[in-house]
Amino acid sequence: MAKYADIAVKGSVENIQNLALQAFTSNGFTIQWDGPTKGKAEKGSKGANILLGAMAQHHTVTFEIYPATEGGTLRPIKVGSGAAGGLLGMRKVNKQFDQLTDTLSTWFKQQGLLLNVKKE
């Protein structure tokens, strides 16, 4: 399963920041910026996830924006394995990360800015 995805897009770093913020928040995530090109997106309750395991929803993704000549790359990075929720929790985390990267890619594609997507 992918640990991170590189989503290459056209536009300035500021534009990528704004679109990433819109994409994450429209999917229920809260964003905490750790600088102009780094941040963390979080959704759900960590406490409920510990108590209820795979039954609860808590999803954290860190991300970075790498400037390039014709745009930049948004790299969401999966945080945690979901092991606290057992095998089901691990599957759920992997599925959520894949869905999130697909959603982000689709968001940029709809804006006409997507260049390439690579999952590692």
Domain boundaries, the chain: 5-119
∠ CA 31-113-110, rounded to 5°: 80
Residue type, 71: G
For domain 5-119, the question of CATH label 1.20.1090.10 is answered with no
> Phi, psi (5° rounding) for residue 112?
75, 25
pLDDT digit string (tens) for the chain, length 120 residues: 569 999 999 999 999 999 899 989 988 999 999 998 999 999 876 554 444 444 456 778 999 999 998 899 999 999 865 555 555 556 777 888 898 899 999 999 999 999 999 998
Cut 0.75: pTM above it: yes
Cα separation, 74 vs 98, in Å, equals 15
Give pLDDT, residue 38: 96
Give pLDDT, residue 110: 93
Among 96, 116, 87, 120, CA closest to 7:
116
Q: Say if CB 6 and CB 78 are below 8 A apart.
A: no
